[in-house]
Structure 1
């Protein structure tokens, strides 16, 4: 007997109803389902009695990286109904698709993401024909609100689905990956048909696969296919994880083909009439909780409009978009600045109207899955629970750690490992921010939410122990192509975690990334981070590391090369100045491990200080670099007043101490600023303020004291630092007064008050 094929849209209640109806009608010998074939000997885990939604989480870890994939199921997923109803009917139930780690899934992280359906020429023409906005609305119109209504509904729906998916597949190019999957699934179908004899075989797959599977299953061998195994040297496994409606929602990025899971949850449980009513009630409740006015009259108007829209659109009962459009009409009186989310494909854009946001949230629902207590879990979870219990970190609340205490340092490393794995509820509020940061105290807050379990199961893809998983997670962040700024963060996180990622090749990877980077500021960030770790961090165990020394040398060399070639204009670039300062510090404190020498860096400083076309702030930094290394040169302030502050920012960033110690330099700067006109000073003031922020308060006070002495004035220097008003505002006001005075003088109005008084008399 040939197989019966049902092509479905994933997470469609209508398709789930059809699958349930066919299983009860046919009592098949085999039920074959699009799903990960390597889970077939573990189907009992899926049937333990979980609270849905749940997903099969699969991973494959190789030297090239880690591949992750999810196969989610909710109560109304056709695949879930096929599994549970098929088992209840006594059928042999099997998944028949390739494992999630297979190369056929290399370009997707979700087995059931049929995003290509959204862009078919067929759906575009059908949307135009039925005057609907997108494929989701089209699907509701053609399928969802018709399922289960009237005699013969199952046959009518099956015919409708077959026609739709045949048209869709006819104009959709199949990929090589889909062809490989379909050939494999067809082999399972042939074997099941041969085994079933004269009893039926039911095959439940995505609708796009059905047209290809029917001819493929008609000819070929009938032996049961082998289950593929991971490649040699790879580590892979699958586990169940709790899922949620938020992760299933297309409005939030899940490309399953079905948005608004909360609505379809109601549709599955109660039918379209109750789903529409429940949606209105949910929206009203959410808006009222947020102190938004929703009157009884508003709801009556929305319900009336939903019924009218349904009749106009040919729906026996209001569909999802009928209700949403009616709610917007009744509740939103403001102009909308963007399209309504349900009228287009993709995620909801930022800036949507608050009432619209609440409508989308009401459609999403708040259902969260929960695994049965007997569900097998990866070893990482027990390892984490053991460590947290031993260290007194297994409760919720605030945690204060002293990193000079050996036990607290160990606790810190455990928390940082959880942080880099992205485990929710592990938040650091304060602590060291860099290798040179003297802070030795950390403040954390811990809170286990319902996301904790799923996140830890997914983190198990990186390893079975907490140090091992954190190591792999850090290595993934430092994958080829990662920016040098990311690499700097990885290095610091590695030290905080106390994992030996440097020995695993991360140091070489960072050095390679630095050697090809083109962003001077980013390379400088790496240099500063590594220098701090190499110099100071005996606390974190990274001080004097030979591998860090290699990165240090590569970064210093690259900073010199990039600074040499930097040309252009523009305001002061603080990351660029920080890079030159990091080079100065590396030469001062780590010269023994650098391949560049003082003479090389001095030459660089003098060249960028004098070469035409060099940005003004970088020219100032070049001069400051020379001064800082003991070779002062002539101060070369720019002729353009508005660039003075940029030049000084570079000078002060590199040679603040040298400037404050040399009264002749401060006198020259004082004379230069004093020589500016009021307009020139106003133009130069913002950049000047930025430049002088490089001096801490005590040094600014010393500069102010010298300014008073040079002018023969007496009084507290602090008075110059704390004026009654914003200096920029005062300067702008003074210039405005001067312009008004000039205008009055030109118009002969400076003596006007006397004349006016005479007229008044």
Structure 2
């Protein structure tokens, strides 16, 4: 658009951020106008980064990341997708050799203003807590007026106001109909028409609503006008400006340079650094960056990239996804879904089927009315899993560069989707991966989280859940203040945390992290801090909280070939102090304190088991048996002392029984004493909770030891009715923790009643009338015969339950299988197994 067809002055292209229709319109307008320069809304410090947008290795979505040098955690993003109008304008300018510049308020001011607004919000919250004076409603912290003036109005949504004026109750749907779904043929006739109409609408809104509840916009727009004047002076009026449509009326307003500079005078400022970072479609779907989060970036990207027939192409993508998930979707499904989407759009008066119509059609035709596969379509396609890419030449903090290098060396590619990673620490590459992930956890870079993997009692396996989010770049930049490499930064931060830690458990957890992350230079500092804290801390609870982490650390030290001798000495000392101080600490406890101490006892018991394992003598000077003996003596003392809370006594008894340090007869005697009529029901119920509650497998203990189950059953049936309601909640909490199968078996055992010969029979007698735990009183031969027939069918054996020994071998006999169990040439794989089925089932004949 040139000559008389173009209005005087710069070409102002008001857009909606992340809008495919706006992006197509911007590209068409630039092709028609061919401006000499392109100005884009964005931080001007990033001008030096613009040439990277033309790099073939740059793949949107990406974002400009700005962070304060002195406080990297203070950061801001400017995300750009392939369908963002700003990205289209940048790429057009670079492809045509046209200068491109950012004209928004510098990031140095934006970061400082955001920091001041955050502090002001904290102060306002404190004032509101301390007394009256807070305003109801008003703007958020970032929009609070400077100088403490009157409260700002709530920000308006320009699109929502326009949609309401047009008689629509859904702003997103209205915007899609009038902008995003416009036919490209209309744009070719007059590329500037949509921008002129949108500018007129925004001008009317600004006349009514002023700044719309965004007081900071006045400062931003003043800076934009100053940059626009500089560009006009350099290139003339033949320039194009791509900015949010809300700012177009302000940029077209005639103001003086002095007035605009006055608005910028005295703004706070920080030193800022900028770079490009990868972004993701999932992150675009959140309200961030421009404040223009979109719910369906994958759908918008498809609308922008599809040259024609967007609905047909979208349905084809959906069908491919569902087929990959083993769902039957044919070409007929695709055709019918396209027709249904078009019909729904016509019924709803829409120019083109939108996301709502296509989603309804997919649900009805391809998903058979189910929302379960539809959720997969939304996650994988509507939102999308695309993660952008930035070339290596983009400036980054040294720590980020070292992390990227290690990710490539270890073949750990950052991905936007969550994935599970199983590591075998006996392999060098997996061990190096584990060290990297643990070091990042020390630096609070939450790329990987430990997960529960496949069952294994060894220490050579680790399971991680990985997911790379763009915010991790900010965390890496923040962690970069500790060092230039992952190892040096993690070492420095661990040493600093050890010096500042106030609780013993914090230091022990840090020692475990240092060992897992293999930080040899930090471990001595942590060990000195640990010894100092342990010597000064006399609280048995704190010591008990600290010991399990130390024991785990010693256990992992064997796998990682780390010298943990000093750690073993500290752990043994803590265990000794716990053995001395635990009995006095178990008296005079309330219910909550007793329950907390029960949990600590479990942790200490497990820790002492690790300390007295194969590696313990080297660390504890050969005193492993002595430590185990002292702990056993402590448990015995707790189990028989009446002043100790019932839950603690019950757990001490159970731990002794599990370790084989208490005979079953003695355990039954202690249970009988605890459940005697003279014991208050609440105390007896607490003893049962300690003995069979929690994760100690108490349910299976009762299943296999009917004597203990009989004691519990006899006590429970003897509880008076007026006291039963008081003990019921504790008992329900105890038994509800068992698996459903264990509860069912216990119910069957209790319902059957005691064995015919009493506890002796329950011990496993096989005579008449005796039963084994969990089994009925006798053999049901009729049911056994029925099971035999089914087993023969499953094993492909001879279905005849009474085979003739003189019968000749079957024609299809495989001679390689060898003779059967009776010397006949029957199949060893089939006939042998079938011949052995009958006897255990108790069948006759």
**Mapped pair 1:159 → 2:196:** yes
Asked if 1:354 is matched to 2:373, the reply is: yes
Alignment of 1:681-696 (within 5 A): 688-690=691-693, 693=696
Match of 1:327 in 2: 362
Quick one: which of 390, 394, 416 aligns to 2:438? 416
Distance 2:393 2:159 in 1: 44
1:193 aligns with 2:232: yes
Please show how residues 100-499 of structure 1 align to structure 2 within 5 Å.
Answer: 102-104=111-113, 120=156, 123-124=159-160, 134-146=170-182, 148-150=184-186, 152-166=189-203, 170=209, 173-175=212-214, 178-196=217-235, 198-215=236-253, 219-220=257-258, 231=270, 237-250=273-286, 256-271=292-307, 274-334=309-369, 352-359=371-378, 361-365=380-384, 367-372=386-391, 379-380=398-399, 383=402, 393=410, 400-401=424-425, 413-414=435-436, 416-417=438-439, 441=460, 459=476, 462-463=479-480, 464-470=484-490, 492-499=512-519
1:77 aligns with 2:84: yes
Inter-CA distance 332–533: structure 2 relative to 1 (3 Å threshold): closer
Structure 1 residue corresponding to 2:748, chosen from 683, 708, 733: 733
1:521–1:321 distance in 2 versus 1, CA, 3 Å:
farther
Residues 532-582 of structure 1 show CA distances to partners (whole Å, capped at 9, x for unaligned) of: 659996965777589x99xx99x99xx99x999985669x85x65334666
2:67 is matched with 60
Question: Are the aligned partners of 2:14 and 2:246 in contact in 1 as well (CA < 8 Å)?
Answer: yes
Structure 1 residue 200, shift from structure 2 partner: 3.3
**Inter-partner Cα distance in structure 2 for 1:207 and 1:250:** 21
- Note the alpha carbon deviations across 1:607-662, whole angstroms, 9 max, x for none: xxxxxxxxxxxxxxxxx999559788732698xxxxx6686237757999898399
Q: CA deviation at 1:79?
A: 0.9
Alpha-carbon deviations, 1:120-177, whole Å to 9, x = none? Answer: 4665565567676743323212211126342655343113422554566637754565
SS at match of 1:161: helix
Cα gap change, 1:637 to 1:581, in 2 (>3 Å): closer
Alignment of 1:584-623 (within 5 A): none
Shift of residue 10 of structure 1? 1.3
State how far apart, in whole Å, the 2-side matches of 1:654 and 1:156 are.
85
Instruction: Provide the C-alpha distance between the structure 1 equivalents of 2:455 and 2:753, rounded to a whole number of angstroms.
Output: 50
3-state SS of 1:11 partner = coil
Deviations 1:408-429 (Å, cap 9, x if unpaired)? 9878534533576768799898
CA distance in 2, matches of 1:481, 1:143: 57
Conserved? CA contact 1:190–1:218, under 8 Å: no
Which is higher, the Rg of structure 1 or of structure 2? 2
Distance in 1 separating the partners of 2:588 and 2:643: 20
CA distance in 1, matches of 2:244, 2:742: 68
What is the rounded CA distance, in whole Å, between the counterparts of 2:383 and 2:695 in structure 1? 53
1:53 positional shift: 0.8
Q: Give distance in 1, aligned partners of 2:586 and 2:648.
A: 17
Instruction: Quote the Cα distance in structure 2 between the aligned partners of 1:523 and 1:63.
Output: 39
Distance apart, 1:78 and its partner CA:
0.9
- Counterpart Cα distance in 1 of 2:210 and 2:591: 52
Question: What is the rounded CA distance, in whole Å, between the counterparts of 2:497 and 2:66 in structure 1?
Answer: 17
**In structure 2, how many angstroms separate the alpha carbons of the residues matched to 1:365 and 1:70?**
20
Q: Distance in 2 between matches of 1:157 and 1:482?
A: 63
Deviations 1:232-264 (A, max 9, x none): 7xxx64333344444434599996433333332
**Change beyond 3 A, Cα 1:294–1:668:** closer
Say if 1:424 and 1:64 are closer, same or farther in 2 by CA, change over 3 A. closer
Structural RMSD (CA): 6.6
> How far 1:278 moved relative to its partner?
1.1
Partner of 2:107: 99
For residues 143 and 506 of structure 1, the distance between their equivalents in structure 2, rounded to whole angstroms, comes to 64
Partner secondary structure for residue 146 of structure 1: coil
Report if the CA contact (8 A) 1:35-1:95 is conserved: yes
Change beyond 3 A, Cα 1:37–1:469 = farther
TM-score, normalised to structure 2, is 0.57
Looking at structure 1, the residues matched to 16 and 597 of structure 2 have their Cα atoms a distance apart, in angstroms, of 53
Q: Any gaps of 5 or more consecutive residues in structure 1?
A: 109-114, 337-351, 591-623, 639-643, 709-724, 740-761
Give the 3-state SS of the residue equivalent to 2:487 in structure 1: helix
CA distance in 1: counterparts of 2:158 and 2:85, whole angstroms: 23
Inter-partner Cα distance in structure 1 for 2:86 and 2:742 = 69
Q: Is the 8 A contact 1:377 1:457 kept in 2?
A: no
Deviation larger for 684-693 or 74-83 = 684-693
Contact 1:36–1:96 at 8 Å: present in 2 too? yes
User: C-alpha distance in 1, partners of 2:442/2:541?
Assistant: 24
1:21 corresponding residue in structure 2: 28
In structure 2, distance between residues paired with 1:310 and 1:457? 43
* Partner SS state of residue 279, structure 1: helix
Farther-moved stretch of structure 1 (139-148 vs 650-659) = 650-659
Which residue number in structure 2 is paired with residue 602 of structure 1? none
2-side partners of 1:692 and 1:379: how far apart? 47
Note the C-alpha offset of 1:94: 0.8
* 1:546-695 correspondence to structure 2 within 5 Å: 573=595, 577-579=598-600, 627=634, 634-635=641-642, 648-649=650-651, 660=662, 667-673=669-675, 688-690=691-693, 693=696
Structure 1 residues 61 and 284: CA distance shift in structure 2, 3 A: same
C-alpha spacing 1:187/1:268, structure 2 compared with 1 (3 Å): same
Q: Under a length normalisation based on structure 1, what TM-score does the superposition of the two structures give?
A: 0.62
Shift of 1:43: 1.9
Instruction: Measure, in 1, the Cα distance between the counterparts of 2:248 and 2:546.
Output: 53
